[in-house]
Chains A and B, each alone.
Chain A
Amino acid sequence: MTELNETTVRAECRAWLEANWDPNLGLVEWRHKLSESGWGNPHWPSRWYGRDLPVGLVPVVKEEFARIGAIGPAEAGIRVLAAATILAHGSDMHKEKFLLRIMTGEDTWCQLFSEPGSGSDVAGAVTRAEMKGNQWIVNGQKVWTTSAHKAHWGLLLARTDWDAKKHAGLSYFIIDMKQPGVTVFPLRQMNGHASFNQVFMSDAKVEPEFLVANVGDGWAVTTTTLMHERRGADGLRTWGKGSTRPERAYEEERAEIATTMEPYKWYPQRAGRVDLVMPRAKETGRIADPVVRQEIAKLLTMSKAAEWTARRARTAQAEGRPQGPEGSLGKLVSSHIARAAARVHTQISGADALLTGADGPMDGVIAEILVSVPATSIAGGTDEIQRNIISERVLKMPRERTGDSDKPFKDVPRNLVG
């Protein structure tokens, strides 16, 4: 057996791509070939469309794909989290049924965790799954569900035991979204976009074999999904860039990116658009105002220092050194940057900051920044939750006593909604 190292992996991958990559194939057809070869997700098990490659060598494979311009497996959206969760906890039946169609992009997935009554406290879910006859019957409401209106399958966290304590009463299911018991409504945000959905489940059905792991294991499985979400958060939201080349596979990929990225089109604005601050200040002449200059400099200082802090964390990881506290700060600092950037942008634009759409500067982008940045400090773990995580896990400060860990969940005080 060939030794696995950067050189051998690169050579083998390159040879396979040179022999097989064909941009005139259909996207799904090409991805079937990819899945057979194992080069699409080389870190997956060889039994399940992968090559057992250590995660550290995956970037080498990605470089080879980029070099030749080959398209990879479908990776955007919740489907990567579904794949990671199924690989970790799913049955062989789940792997057989779902992994291939995840890779080819034929199936779209959504994540049914958050509820109106449980935002930061995901384990407080009250969506109910009951075994009736030979089926799980699901009733409840989920929220902040990206792509639910397009999804074929959902990753569902539901309560199966109300006498157990909070975390122990949860189970994890894969639910068919295209059934009469599931209704999806778009959720309109304060910035006018509707990137997320509300999902109502009313006597929705789940076949018993679509339970993931065992009854009562729901929280452990959810933790896996969330861990991958956090790890891949940047990737999920990266603005997809398709090739502009004319061949069929590229054309189909462009259409796929456009569909997948549609909900995320305001995401650059929610991060504050630091990149636009200096050009806007020059364009408006506000660059001459010493007060504006101070504010811009403060923002750039924070933004650069945050970037360098992230680089320190990544370098430690790449060198195999233990990461210091710098690795846990990115989410929190991004909120500070977004807020400061919104403030500076509106300061620069003055009265024009009020104008939206075609009336506003940059076709409304500046106004959209102000009404989009509040999402940054809430989505994916609020600033308050981030501070709890930093203080408890990094600084080892004592955990707070919660009001829900010592009694059956049915006796825990909770919100009236949901």
Chain B
Amino acid sequence: MKFSFSSEQDEFRSNLRRFLTDRAPVKEVRRLMDTDAGWEREGWQAMNAELGLTAVRIPEEYGGHGFGFGEHCIVLEEMGRALVCAPYFATTVLAAGAILHAGSDERKAALLPGIASGEVVATLASAEDDGSWDAVACTTTASATGRLNGHKSFVMDGHTADLIVVLARGPAGLAFYTVDGNATGLTRRLLATMDPTRKLARLEFADVEGTLLGSADGAYERVMIEAAVCLSNEMAGGAERLREDSLAYAMMRMQFGKPIASFQSMKHKAADMLLEVELAKSAAYYAAAALDEGDEDIAAIASLAKACASDTYSQTATHAIQIHGGIGFTYDNDTHLWYKRAKSSDVLFGDAFYHRERMMQNWAA
């Protein structure tokens, strides 16, 4: 359903929200973001053991729960809301997506159960130093025997992943290769990024042993569409949290003898924020359902959702800091954590301008 959630889905969401409120409070976000890894295996495994979150969209024959994007995006929206520090997106959206779309049955059977159980943390390395997620920009090469040479950048959790799916040019064209995180010849470096809650790495491949997963033709495009939709939902969750937090602040912050929420400038800003966030949620939900329903227009819809979420999250974050005033510009106040995530999310997989152009390529042809 593109316009509503079932009562099971609502219940799933509220359980998840309770769990994340309890296990991933901002205090925990701040602790993890200050580590180089950005996450901890203990907490990660507890989350997956208790709620099976990494298994949500993995098919049952590969040890997963076999749900669709509807459920997967609920998890992502809630994680975006809580700003959970975990390699969830990299593992379940990017790596699992590439394996599902490009891998043979044997490779899926070999790789997916580990992801479903939470034992294997994985990622996809596709963009390079030029920061483009377009396949044409790929310069990393693979030999006939799967030896990889080149570099990758902006790789989500690339410095900690156990398994890396690499996009490279092989003898038969663009293909995905799987690489062990500790492979010889692989150099991984944590990038110093503006958003400390989402770690990015630069990887160098000097004759690294890779195993062909399958052709990336069509599959890479598909994974990027799914990534755009999933990230849109994550962003909608973050934007809504910012909106709610800044409203709560405006209700309790007293100036001139009354709550600043009673000033019309604040009320009108709050109404505009609600409008924008609800539109972004509608687009993100619609896009998730469109993936599940096999909508033929999915490429344009995914780009629409991503462009909408990008503009909304950044705008909401800007408003949220403004509503907080001076305290909002301090490091101790939490607002900047979401503000930074809004920007990193805008950039990842193409910003709003990029996705608007993609929409037009689909709709104006």
Contacts and interface: CB of A to CB of B under 8 A. Distances in A.
On whether the two chains bind one another, the answer is yes
Given A305-B282, A311-B3, A398-B262, A391 B270 contact: yes
Given A287-B364, A391-B267, A397 B278 contact: no
Interface in A378-404: 384, 386-388, 390-392, 394-395, 397-400
Contacts of A311: 2-3, 282
Nearest to A398: B262
A121 to B, nearest CB: 15
Nearest to B280: A305
Contacts, number: 123
Contacts of B122: none
Given A293-B357, A297-B359, A387 B267 contact: yes
Contacts of B89: none
A375 interface: no
Interface string A252-285: 0000000000000000000000000010011000
Nearest to B244: A395
Contacts of B356: 293-294, 297-298, 301
B251 A312 contact: no
A392 B274 contact: no
Contacts of B304: 297, 300-301, 304-305
Contact of B278 (A293, A316, A326): A326
Contacts of A333: 275, 279
A321 interface: yes
B107 interface: no
Interface residues of A, number: 45
A319 B4 contact: yes
Given A312-B3, A397-B266, A297 B307 contact: yes
A297 B311 CA distance: 13
A371 interface: no
B360 A297 contact: yes
A391 B283 CA distance: 23
A305 B305 CA distance: 8
Interface string A296-318: 11101110111011011011100
A220 interface: no
Nearest to A396: B251
B256 to A, nearest CB: 13
B264 interface: yes
Contacts of B261: 397-398
A235 interface: no
A397 B282 CA distance: 24
B362 to A, nearest CB: 10
A392 B261 CA distance: 10
Interface residues of B, number: 37
Contacts of B262: 397-400
A332 interface: yes
B293 interface: no
B357 to A, nearest CB: 6
A382 to B, nearest CB: 11
B363 A300 contact: yes
A325 interface: yes
B329 interface: no
B99 interface: no
Contact of B353 (A294, A301, A314): A294
Interface in B288-333: 304, 307-308
Contacts of B307: 297-298, 301
Given A304-B304, A312-B3, A329 B274 contact: yes
24 contacts: A293-B356, A297-B356, A298-B356, A301-B307, A305-B282, A308-B285, A311-B282, A312-B3, A315-B1, A316-B4, A319-B4, A324-B278, A329-B274, A333-B275, A387-B272, A388-B271, A390-B274, A391-B267, A391-B271, A395-B247, A395-B270, A397-B261, A397-B266, A398-B259
Interface of A: 278, 281-282, 287, 290, 293-294, 296-298, 300-302, 304-306, 308-309, 311-312, 314-316, 319, 321, 324-326, 329, 332-333, 336, 384, 386-388, 390-392, 394-395, 397-400
The 4 closest A-B pairs by CB, nearest first: A297-B356, A391-B267, A305-B279, A387-B271
